[in-house]
């Protein structure tokens, strides 16, 4: 095995391990004194109407942030970009988790309300994540056009991940399926920094998947936005221009589609997608 490939594998293992350990430790600390009722600020009802904690999200942000700070192989600017994208989008997602309302829904709904002069929590999150996406992109891009494309991709990926966080484990599974090829390609090409960057969110997300599938916790906006932003950053820093534009087009297309169709219905209607979606989950309650 070439030295660069071996180093990439080592850095990837370190990033995943640190992210996983830190995420599990953060989740244990955050939920140590939680009561299983509907009175906590971080407690919501899930799709079954059962109480579930949103603290998986902050635990993911903490785990990924620790891994971004401690994992070897990340250059200074890329390390800072990872923290900006992950912590920034996670913080804005947490704001929406705690103070968000359902008066306006979806990307279009929040921007329409903003055009009327109504500043919703969702609009604050959209604009804020856009700013953090551009900030992270500015640290790893060359020129204003590339910064804009990469920033929109990072912010769009953050928003898209959140659209999948509607059933247990779905957003994490989508993140793992999207991030695994990036991780494998970076290791194979002998790119240690890219391998470390891709491994950071994957390790933290995989460590929290059992809580998500067990319907004890969910990522919420904080975790899903952070996961998507970090995977978006990994994509734009690793792919060439055609690949980056392809990712951006896919993100925009899926986001637009979500305004018109239900991902849950589409997944339920496809045998392969539904099998993946239900893997590790409790059976669906009979109607």
Checking if the pLDDT of 131 tops 60, the result is: yes
Per DSSP, the chain holds a count of helices (H) and strands (E) of: 12, 2
State how far the Cα of 44 lies from the Cα of 96, in Å rounded to an integer.
Answer: 13
State how far the Cα of 65 lies from the Cα of 138, in Å rounded to an integer.
Answer: 19
State how far the Cα of 158 lies from the Cα of 130, in Å rounded to an integer.
Answer: 9
Does residue 52 lie in a domain region? yes
> Contact, 152 vs 235, CB < 8 A?
no
> Could you tell me the maximum CA-CA distance found in the chain, to the nearest angstrom?
59
pTM to 2 decimals? 0.90
Does residue 204 lie in a domain region? yes
Q: How confident is the model at residue 252 (pLDDT cuts 50, 70, 90)?
A: very high
Does residue 284 lie in a domain region? no
Give the three-class secondary structure for 281.
Answer: coil
Per-residue pLDDT of 96-125, as tens digits, reads 888 876 554 555 555 665 566 555 666 778
**Choice between 89 and 2, residue whose per-residue pLDDT is larger:** 89
Does residue 283 lie in a domain region? no
Does residue 203 lie in a domain region? yes
Cβ atoms within 10 Å of 103's Cβ, excluding its own: 12
Checking if the pLDDT of 1 tops 80, the result is: no
Does residue 285 lie in a domain region? no
Per-residue pLDDT of 214-245, as tens digits, reads 999 999 999 999 999 999 999 999 999 999 99
Does residue 180 lie in a domain region? yes
Report the number of distinct structural domains present in the chain. Answer: 1
Mean pLDDT across 89-101: 88
Per-residue pLDDT of 28-71, as tens digits, reads 999 987 654 445 788 888 878 788 999 999 999 999 999 999 99
- Full residue range of the structural domain in which residue 113 is found: 3-278
Does residue 287 lie in a domain region? no
Mean pLDDT across 158-167: 94
> Contact, 40 vs 34, CB < 8 A?
yes
């Amino acid at each position: 095995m070439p030295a660069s490939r071996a180093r990439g594998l080592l850095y990837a293992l370190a990033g995943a391990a640190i992210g996983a350990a830190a995420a599990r430790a953060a989740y244990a600390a955050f939920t140590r004194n939680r009561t299983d009722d509907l009175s906590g600020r971080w407690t919501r009802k899930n799709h079954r109407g059962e109480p579930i904690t949103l603290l998986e999200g902050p635990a993911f942000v903490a785990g990924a942030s620790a891994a971004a700070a401690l994992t070897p192989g990340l250059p200074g600017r890329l390390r800072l970009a990872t923290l900006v994208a992950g912590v920034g989008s996670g913080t804005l997602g947490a704001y929406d988790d705690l103070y968000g309302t359902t008066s306006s829904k979806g990307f279009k709904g929040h921007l329409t309300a903003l055009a009327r002069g109504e500043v919703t929590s969702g609009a604050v999150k959209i604009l804020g994540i856009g700013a953090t996406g551009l900030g992270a992109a500015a640290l790893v891009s060359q020129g204003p056009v590339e910064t804009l494309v990469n920033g929109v991709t990072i912010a769009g990926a953050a928003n898209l991940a959140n659209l999948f966080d509607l059933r247990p484990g779905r957003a994490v599974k989508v993140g793992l399926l999207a991030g695994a090829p990036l991780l494998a390609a970076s290791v194979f090409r002998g790119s240690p920094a890219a391998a470390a960057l891709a491994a950071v969110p994957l390790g933290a997300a995989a460590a929290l998947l059992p809580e998500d599938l067990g319907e004890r916790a969910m990522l919420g906006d904080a975790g899903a936005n952070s996961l998507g932003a970090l995977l978006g950053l990994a994509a734009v820093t690793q792919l060439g221009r055609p690949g980056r534009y392809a990712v951006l087009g896919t993100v925009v297309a899926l986001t637009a589609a979500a305004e018109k169709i239900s991902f849950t219905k589409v997944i339920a209607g496809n045998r392969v997608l539904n099998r993946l979606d239900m893997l590790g989950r409790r059976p669906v309650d009979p109607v």
